[in-house]
Amino acid sequence: MNIHILSVVPELLESPFGHSIMKRAADKGLMNVTVHHLRNWAVNAYGMVDDYQFGGGAGMVMMCEPLANAIEELNKVHQFDEIIYMTPDGKVFDQRMANGLSMKGSLLLICGHYKGIDERIREHYITMEISIGDFVLSGGELAAAVVVDAIGRLIPGVLNDETSALFDSFQDNLLAPPVYTRPVDFRGMKVPDVLMSGDHKKIEEWRHEMAVKRTEERRPDLL
C-alpha cells in the first residue's frame, strides 16, 4: 500500500512512521508512506501557500493553486484511490472506515492548516473528508498519523500475529474484553479462573460476555 501525505509542516510526521509497527510495515515493504512538502508547489519564491480569506476574518487560508498543482501532479503518477482531506468537519473516523481504507492501493492525505483549505479544492478534488473527533488541532498532521497507523496495522503481514487486529475493540461493534498476564496472583488480585481453565470454548464465551458488559457500561451507543 502506498500512502502520500501533503503537508506544510512535514517535520511533524518524521517520528510517527519511523518506529514500532509502522516502521516494521515499511521495512517489510507492505506500506510505504511518503510525505510531500506543499511549499514545493508554492506560488512564488518565498514559499507562499496561503493568503487572507475573502470577506475578512482572522486566520489564513491555504490557496487553490499550490494544492491543485500538487494533487494533479501526484495523481498522475500514483492514481490515488482516495484523496482525503483531514478536517474537523469531516466524517468521524472509525474502525469500519479503517478496514475499508486498508484494502485500497494508494491514498493521498491532505493536512489542513490555518483556517483550512479553499473550498474549491474540497469541491473539485477531495473524495473523502475525515475527522478524528469533535475538537480542533493546530493542523491535520497528527490526525493523518492516527489514520495511517489505524490503517497500517490492518494490512496482512504487518502484525506478527495476523489475527490480532481481528479482535481489537470496535471490529464487531464491541469493546475488547479485559486482558491479563503473569503473575496469576498480584497482591491478592487474581486472574479469573476461567482464563486458567484451558477450556477454550468457555474462555471465548467469557470474553464475549465481558466485551458485551464493558460495551454496555462504557459505550452503549455501539450496541
CATH number, domain containing residue 9: 3.40.1280.10
pTM over 0.85: yes
Question: Could you tell me if 86 and 174 lie in one domain?
Answer: no
Q: Per the domain annotation, does 162 fall within a domain?
A: no
Sequence-separated (6 or more) residues with CB below 8 Å from residue 36: 4, 5, 6, 7, 10, 70, 74
- Asked whether residue 80 is assigned to any structural domain, the reply reads yes
- Enumerate residues 6+ apart whose C-beta is below 8 A from 135: 88
**Same domain, yes or no, for 71 and 108?**
yes
Note the Cα 20 to chain centre separation in Å. Answer: 16
Please tell me whether residues 70 and 107 are part of one structural domain.
Answer: yes
Domain holding 185, by residue range, is 169-222
Domain boundary among 94, 123, 152: 152
pLDDT of res. 211? 93
Whole-number average pLDDT of the chain:
94
* Same domain for 70 and 13: yes
Task: Tell me if 141 is assigned to some domain.
Answer: yes
Domain boundary among 91, 118, 152: 152
The domain that contains 186 carries what CATH number? 1.10.1270.20
- Top-confidence residue, 67 or 159: 67
> What pLDDT is attached to residue 172?
80
Do the domain assignments include residue 176?
yes
Is residue 179 domain-shared with residue 147, that is, in the same domain?
no
Write the pLDDT tens digit of every residue in 34-65: 999 999 999 999 999 999 999 999 999 999 99
Residue 129 in any domain: the answer is yes
Is 35 inside a domain boundary? Answer: yes
Cite the DSSP H helix spans in 138-199: 141-152
Answer yes or no: is pLDDT of 102 > 70.
yes
pLDDT at 18: 86
Closest CA to 220 of 175, 163, 171: 175
Q: What is the pLDDT of residues 165-186, one digit of tens each?
A: 655 667 788 998 999 999 999 9
- Whether 161 maps to a domain, the answer reads no
| For range 144-157, the mean pLDDT | 95
pLDDT confidence of residue 97:
97
Q: What is the pLDDT of residue 168?
A: 66
End-of-domain residue from the set 152, 182, 203 = 152
Residue 163 above 80 pLDDT?
Answer: no
Residue 74 has pLDDT above 90, yes or no: yes
Predicted local confidence at residue 165, as pLDDT: 60
- DSSP run (H or E) holding 133: none
Would you state the pLDDT for residue 160? 72
The predicted structure's pLDDT at residue 162: 57
How many folded domains does the chain comprise? Answer: 2
What is the rounded distance in angstroms from the CA atom of residue 219 to the CA atom of residue 135? 19
Please check whether residues 19 and 116 belong to one and the same domain: yes
